[in-house]
Amino acid sequence: MKRLIPLVFLSLLAGCETTAVSDTVISPLSKHATGYQQGSTTALYWYTSQQNQPVNLAGVVTAEHGERYESEYRWRDGKLREIKRQGTRLGDEHLLVPFTLHLRYDAEGQAVYQRFTQDGSVLPLSDVELYAPIRQVDAALRVIAQQRKAGLSLVQGYWQQQHMILCGEQRAKSLTFNTVAAQAAASGHERATGYMALTGKVRRDSIEASQVLLLADNSQQCLVPPVLLDTQ
């Protein structure tokens, strides 16, 4: 009997060690796609978080006068550390020109690297331009949090009148618009068919649209999150 006690004690220790290890297991990544439209600006976002902290955000933004850009943001230990952006914007002569933006920040939020090019020329950034992307991403995170709380997400697919086939699926779901603005946006389209991106709720056999973000013809490909930053 005395010989069994050490064995039982060791088994208890092993159980404690196993429990301690499991407590340190990192939670899996959480992904959420959403978007919003405000005035002439439409934004689609793909957000990745872990343990309630941001990890990565990729976005596609279109604005007035045909401006369009893609962005990718990266956090480390909850701190925004890197931003990369590319697209087209209005130049000095109010013509669309290509641009790129690459910023890195230290753990205190100070910019430690910057590179901005427009129409092939490397240009300096003002302090306002240097930190404007931080304010923009903060605003995006607030929208994402609000929409997640409301159960809304980004929905893309091809619609025809009262039905929609989601990207990557074959079976059509019934499509309804639960806001006057969403109904008006769809009704104002020249044809009740084509590509559509919206925020809403996807049920088993139906889709409830809260806000219509993009409308195009059937040649439009479903949008995917841009990858601009080097993998670590």
Same domain, 114 and 42: yes
Which residues constitute the domain of residue 44? 30-150
Rounded Cα distance between 136 and 1, Å, is 69
Of 146, 142, 72, 69, the residue nearest 102 (C-alpha): 72
H helix or E strand, kind and range, residue 151:
none
Same domain, 108 and 169: no
- pTM recorded for the entire structure: 0.86
Same domain, 75 and 115: yes
Please check whether residue 15 lies inside any domain of the structure.
no
Same domain, 136 and 176: no
Please check whether residue 68 lies inside any domain of the structure.
yes
Please check whether residue 230 lies inside any domain of the structure.
no
What is the pLDDT at residue 120? 93
Please check whether residue 126 lies inside any domain of the structure.
yes
Same domain, 47 and 59: yes
CA distances from 224 to 75, 129, 148, 179, 228 (A): 20, 27, 19, 26, 12
Please check whether residue 9 lies inside any domain of the structure.
no
What is the pLDDT at residue 231? 77
Split into its structural domains, the chain has a count of 2
Please check whether residue 173 lies inside any domain of the structure.
yes
**Are residues 125 and 114 in contact, defined by beta-carbon separation less than 8 angstroms?**
yes
Same domain, 36 and 86: yes
Please check whether residue 39 lies inside any domain of the structure.
yes
State both tokens at 100: 């790129």
Rounded Cα distance between 19 and 149, Å, is 32
What is the pLDDT at residue 20? 46
Phi-psi region for residue 31, left (φ > 0), alpha (ψ -120 to 50) or beta? beta
Same domain, 67 and 162: no
Same domain, 142 and 173: no
Same domain, 49 and 140: yes
Please check whether residue 226 lies inside any domain of the structure.
no
Site of tokens 């006068």: 65
Same domain, 87 and 102: yes
Same domain, 161 and 146: no
Rounded Cα distance between 128 and 1, Å, is 77
Of 100, 130, 150, the residue at which a domain comes to its end is: 150
CA distances from 214 to 27, 124, 179 (A): 34, 34, 16
Same domain, 54 and 122: yes
Mean pLDDT by 10 residues, the chain (232 residues): 42 44 71 94 97 96 94 96 96 90 94 94 91 92 95 96 92 94 85 91 95 95 96 70
Task: Convert 81-102 to b/e letters by CB count within 10 Å (16 or more is b).
Answer: bbbbbbbbbeeeeeeeeebbbb
Rounded Cα distance between 56 and 50, Å, is 10
H helix or E strand, kind and range, residue 187:
helix 180-187
